[in-house]
Structure 1
Amino acid sequence: MSLLLKFIHKLVSGDDTPWTRWVRRWYGASGITDPPSREDTPAWRAFKQLFATYRGITNVRVGDGETTSFWFDNWHAAGPLFACTPALLSHCTNPAITVADAFRERRLLLPLQPRLTVTAQGQLGSLVGSLQHAALSSDPDARLLPGGTAFSTAAAYRIMCTTGVALPLADYNWENFAPLKVRVFFWIARHGNTRTRALLHRHGVLPSPRCPFCDANEDLLHLFAGCTRLSPLFTLVGAPTAGAARDLEGVCAALAVPLDAHAPFVRHTLVLLILWIAWKSRNRKVFDDVWMRARQLALLLAEHCELWLHRLPRCFSRHPVDAWLAQLRASST
């Protein structure tokens, strides 16, 4: 993540290097400011997803305004203008304009629809009044961290960790005793890059995005929550509501509810174990045409849990996990 932040900062700050010139040539001057789309590669989608976080933790000291988004960067005293003047933004015909674009004629000139609502007119009047003395200079824009300190990836990462801005589910991903391959599997899922049939179909690898168990498209949410074949698994672990989750965070939250008595370090591991079994049972169907039923899922969960327990640090008691494991064994008989 720190490396991505460094690349984003160089790109947004107007750094002139071969790779930034290549990015601007292929993706435009705004680079990663456009919303993520299905046509993006996984790496480029990760850039775009982290860009909103980058904007959230940086302030801009405007110089020439060439690299500062008029609406979405935090350069105005009132904060990002998209949040302060939402009605006015809805009438803008080009939300991607920079501060330099807005002041090309040395006064505020926004590309707006010819007719504004009363609310938008009021917001425009307030905005013009607050910017009547604004002036650009020949200096480049400067991106700063809170407190006016210069941007650095180490400082930015510390801010993200202390303010909760970091990518969701990081605690589940790394604060556990699951095997490394499972952590990598979950990291890929968190970033939306799991090789589902919908993803492979979108890239031309598979002729159909259909789930191997039902007629729905197998996207990430369907893979880990929506498919009816997961109902026995969720019932086994005492989390029947996980199937109604709307994203991966919701799935993890639902799976964690019956595990509330466990320490977070252990709870995170058991949640990853359940998702790992969901993935492995799906692959048994795809590659071996085996549909694992409730008893087989319980047995697979128990086998993996017993193996993973050897990785549990001695400072944690294994008795709660043994009790959970005993319930699984009972379900598998």
Structure 2
Amino acid sequence: MASMLLPLYARTPALVSHCTNPSITVAEALCDRRLGLPLQPRLTVTAQGQMEALVSSLQHATLSSDPDVRLLPGGAAFSTVAAYRIMCTSGVALPLSDFNLENFAPLKVRVFFWIARHGNTRTRALLHRHGCLPSPRCPFCDADEDLAHLFARCVWLEPLFALVEAPAAGAAHDLEGVCAALSAPLQELAPPVRHTLVLLILWVVWKSRNRKVFDDVWLRARHLAKLLSEHCELWLHRLPRRLSRQPVESWLARLRTSVL
């Protein structure tokens, strides 16, 4: 039963490896109940077996021109909010999904965080592993720049973590630990505000790191505080009306005071 829940590409890996157009749609592949996949002229025994099983399972399939109807368990219409609520109540929510979904950060920042929490941020270690860079070394120090080093363990982050009153973030071993440490001094804030400020800090880390990589400019504590303030003031205009500005403004005031 579990194998039946897998997508077709996972159930027929050998057949997929022989397909010359893996992005073909179901409508293109299944025409007049006949399966027409663009395959290599010779199939392995395994691929041939998977092909026969696929043809057998689709022989009674009928396509419709009606638009897809996507429903959630229980028959409710699909929506991102409803799916997220099911994930939360079922106890299977992915790590840091609340940070990604409950915030008022710009879309590009949410996409940046989505990429980071899936471990696909283009760190120097990742680019080196793919053959794009000659060295995985961090632009600030001699260590390899993996995800944990980029967002937590690099020595240049110490002044920034001191600014946001989260020095424990420097001891984190992964992005989840960094977010927990950055959230610790913000526990009195509503979750969307707290999550947004954490994303703001990580965004400034990424922007500052890129400034060093591309312009060879090392931003110091005063410049980091200014960058945080500028971005936060802009993002405040995105704050939902149901949330108060006062906690964010107080956080900004403490940030500015810390570098005076």
TM-score (norm. length: structure 2):
0.71
CA contact 1:225–1:244 (8 Å) conserved in 2: yes
Q: Which residue of 2 aligns with 1:197?
A: 124
Residue 216 (str. 1) matches residue 143 (str. 2): yes
CA distance in 2, matches of 1:8, 1:272: 35
Deviations 1:8-45 (CA, angstroms, capped at 9, x unpaired): 7124884x6xx77215x69xxxxxxxxxxxxxxxxxxx
What letter is aligned with 2:109? V
Task: Give structure 2 stretches of 5+ with no counterpart.
Answer: 20-56, 58-69, 75-82
Q: Which residue of 2 aligns with 1:277?
A: 204
Cα RMSD of the aligned pairs, angstroms, is: 2.6
Q: Which residue of 1 aligns with 2:182?
A: 255
Q: Which residue of 1 aligns with 2:33?
A: none
CA distance in 2, matches of 1:153, 1:202: 41
CA contact 1:214–1:227 (8 Å) conserved in 2: yes
20 and 265 in structure 1: CA distance in 2 versus 1, 3 angstrom threshold: farther
Q: Which residue of 1 aligns with 2:166?
A: 239
Residue 9 (str. 1) matches residue 6 (str. 2): yes
Q: Which residue of 2 aligns with 1:165?
A: 92
**1:153 positional shift:** 8.3
| Counterpart selection for 1:21 from 15, 25, 44 | 15
Moved over 4 A (4+): 156-159
**1:328 positional shift:** 1.6
CA contact 2:128–2:134 (8 Å) conserved in 1: yes
**1:155 positional shift:** 3.5
Q: Which residue of 1 aligns with 2:104?
A: 177
CA contact 2:9–2:16 (8 Å) conserved in 1: no
TM-score (norm. length: structure 1):
0.56
237 and 154 in structure 1: CA distance in 2 versus 1, 3 angstrom threshold: same
Deviations 1:138-181 (CA, angstroms, capped at 9, x unpaired): xx9xxxxxxxxxxx984496754422212210110110000000
Residue 290 (str. 1) matches residue 217 (str. 2): yes
Q: Secondary structure at 2:7's aligned position in 1?
A: helix
What letter is aligned with 1:220? L
Residue 315 (str. 1) matches residue 237 (str. 2): no
Q: Which residue of 1 aligns with 2:133?
A: 206
